[in-house]
Amino acid sequence: MTYTTPYLELYPERIKANAKSIIDLCHRHGIQVAAVTKVTAAHDVVAHALEDAGADMIADSRITNLRSLGESGIALPRLLLRLPAPSEAQMVVRNSEISLNSGLHTLKLLSEAALAEKIRHGVIIMVDVGDLREGIWPDQAVDLVKAAARLEGLEVLGMGCNLACYGGVIPSEANMQKLIDTRNQCRKATGLPLDILSGGNSANLPLLACGQMPAEINHLRIGEAIILGRNVLDRSPWPGTRQDTFRLFAEIIEVGRKPSVPIGERGQDAFGGTTDFEDRGIRKRAICTIGRQDVVVDGIEPEDKGITVLGGSSDHLILDVEDAATDVKVGDELSFFPGYGALLAMSTSPYVAKVVVRDK
């Protein structure tokens, strides 16, 4: 079948194999895995691959994605990753079994919504151990857990933290111990078991693999390491995984030899930026049918190592093809491997077709 470019190929068997490798590693250490679907916009084929690989939960940041996961037949508990908005309390309890939380106001609204639905909603209280994104400060955690425990519509399942997403703080024995100590203080103060200790995300895997993860950590929320097979601390390949789980294809619409530095007085580009150009003389260049509206242009790697991404505008991807392995021409399709940001953008773009490819 022929597809209009740009299109994104996804390989569910490869994703499933990645997931099984990482989930098995976690399970051997007594850690449950909430497999994260958000970078694929909760594509149902990806979600079922994660379920088949043995994930314990399915997690996403968008309520609409969690709803679609339920509608696609996913039987696993659904975890809402982003802190719930107060205005979405009813939707949260209807479309997720568990959510991450850090504030009493929202917890009260979730409790009210759960009671109205005649259910109990599970919550994990988030603690900020240094990355400075979501989470209550450790010295305020006891009071919040006490208050949450009194809300009839909620079950306080445990505590969690997030690292390496905003501040780039690397998971360590020290910050994991801070989470453990905070949980233990809350346990003592409330009598709640607080069984779940959700220590973070894909960034925690190196700590686990080198044997330094404290045994009390029993839950991780893993996305990129499974989906793209990457160690998220340095983007190196994660052992036992594949990195060819997704491929972007874009069609060439112009080829020509041009200078490598723009000619004339320069101001800002269409996105308000300025670029320093290296003068490499006259070079063969190509333009493809995708741009910054649909993809992070510096987050894609040409499959042909002789091709270089120069940049892009809203709808044009500009390439240096002087050293391409083949004599590229207008109408050819070029393939690229996406990084996390690029995949995230393409997954949510209606202009990029999604094509499921089954390995034979």
From the list 38, 178, 258, 305, the catalytic residue is 38
Distance CA 330, CA 88 (A): 48
DSSP 68: H
Parallel/antiparallel/unpaired status of strands 246-259 and 7-10: antiparallel
- Rounded CA-CA distance 319/302 in Å is 9
**CA 347 to CA 167: how far, in whole Å?**
25
CB count within 10 Å of CB 346 equals 27
Q: Residue 273 region, left (φ>0) first, then alpha (ψ -120 to 50), else beta? A: beta
Write the burial class of residue 262 (CB in 10 Å: 0-12 exposed, 13-18 middle, 19+ buried): exposed
Among 244, 200, 194, 198, residue whose Cα is nearest residue 223 = 200
Those residues whose C-beta lies under 8 Å from the C-beta of residue 291, and which sit 6 or more positions away, are 297, 312, 313, 314, 315, 316, 317
Active site residue 38: yes
- Rounded CA separation 72/138 (Å): 38
Q: Of all helices (H) and strands (E), which one includes residue 351? A: none
Q: Which residues contact 210 (CB under 8 A, 6 or more apart)?
A: none
Helix, strand and coil in the chain, % to nearest 5: 30, 25, 45
Return the exposure string of 190-199: e unless at least 16 CB atoms fall within 10 Å of the residue's CB, then b: bebebebbbb
Residues with active-site annotation: 38
